[in-house]
Amino acid sequence: MNGPRKHVYVKSFGCQMNVYDSRRMADTLAPEGYSETPSAEAADLVILNTCHIRDKAAEKVYSELGRIRRLKEAAAADGRRVVVAVAGCVAQAEGDEIIRRQPAVDVVVGPQSYHRLPELLQRAARDGRAVDTEFPVDDKFAHLAAPSPAAVRARGASAFITVQEGCDKFCTFCVVPYTRGAELSRPVRAIVAEAEQLAAAGVREVSLIGQNVNAYHGEGPDGWPWPLAQLLHRIAAIGGIERLRYTTSHPRDMSDDLVAAHRDLASLMPQLHLPVQSGSDRVLAAMNRRHTRADYLDLVRRLRDARPDLALTSDFIVGFPGETAADFAATLDLIDEAGFSGAFSFKYSPRPGTPGADMDDQIDEDTKSERLQRLQGAIERHQTAFNRRCLHRSLDVLFERTGRHPGQLVGRSPYLQPVQVTAPASLIGEIAPVTIAEIGSNSLFGVLTSQPRPRAQERDLLAAGA
Ligand code: 5AD
Ligand code: SF4
Predicted confidence (pLDDT) per residue in 323-350, tens digit? 999 999 999 999 999 999 999 999 999 9
How far, in Å, CA of 312 to CA of 13, rounded?
24
Is residue 315 within 8 Å of residue 344, measured between CB atoms? yes
- Which ligand neighbours the alpha carbon of 181 most closely? 2
Q: How far is CA 259 from CA 220, 339, 434, in A?
A: 20, 18, 28
Task: State if residue 315 touches ligand 1 by the CB under 6 angstroms criterion.
Answer: yes
pTM of the entire predicted model: 0.92
Provide the pLDDT for residue 455: 54
Task: State if residue 129 touches ligand 2 by the CB under 6 angstroms criterion.
Answer: no
Predicted confidence (pLDDT) per residue in 272-296, tens digit? 999 999 999 999 999 999 999 999 9
Q: Report cis status (omega within 30 of 0) of the bond before 324.
A: no
Which of 399, 381, 395 is closest to 437 using CA atoms? 395
Which ligand 2 atom is at minimum distance from the Cα of 174? 1
Predicted confidence (pLDDT) per residue in 158-211, tens digit? 999 999 999 999 999 999 999 999 999 999 999 999 999 999 999 999 999 999
Predicted confidence (pLDDT) per residue in 5-52, tens digit? 899 999 999 989 999 999 999 999 999 999 999 999 999 999 999 999
Task: State if residue 152 touches ligand 2 by the CB under 6 angstroms criterion.
Answer: no
| Consecutive H or E run containing 61 | helix 55-77
Residue type, 349: S
Is residue 164 within 8 Å of residue 210, measured between CB atoms? yes
Q: Is it the case that residue 408 has pLDDT exceeding 80?
A: yes
Q: How far is CA 246 from CA 148, 365, 386, in A?
A: 24, 34, 21
Predicted confidence (pLDDT) per residue in 115-145, tens digit? 999 999 999 999 999 999 988 766 788 888 8
- Rounded to the nearest angstrom, the distance between the alpha carbon of 167 and the centre of ligand 2 is 6
Q: Is it the case that residue 453 has pLDDT exceeding 80?
A: no
Which ligand 1 atom is at minimum distance from the Cα of 347? 2
Which ligand 2 atom is at minimum distance from the Cα of 177? 6
Task: State if residue 173 touches ligand 1 by the CB under 6 angstroms criterion.
Answer: yes
Task: State if residue 176 touches ligand 2 by the CB under 6 angstroms criterion.
Answer: yes
| Consecutive H or E run containing 285 | helix 281-286
Task: State if residue 211 touches ligand 2 by the CB under 6 angstroms criterion.
Answer: yes
Q: What is the mean pLDDT of residues 368-381?
A: 98
Provide the pLDDT for residue 312: 98
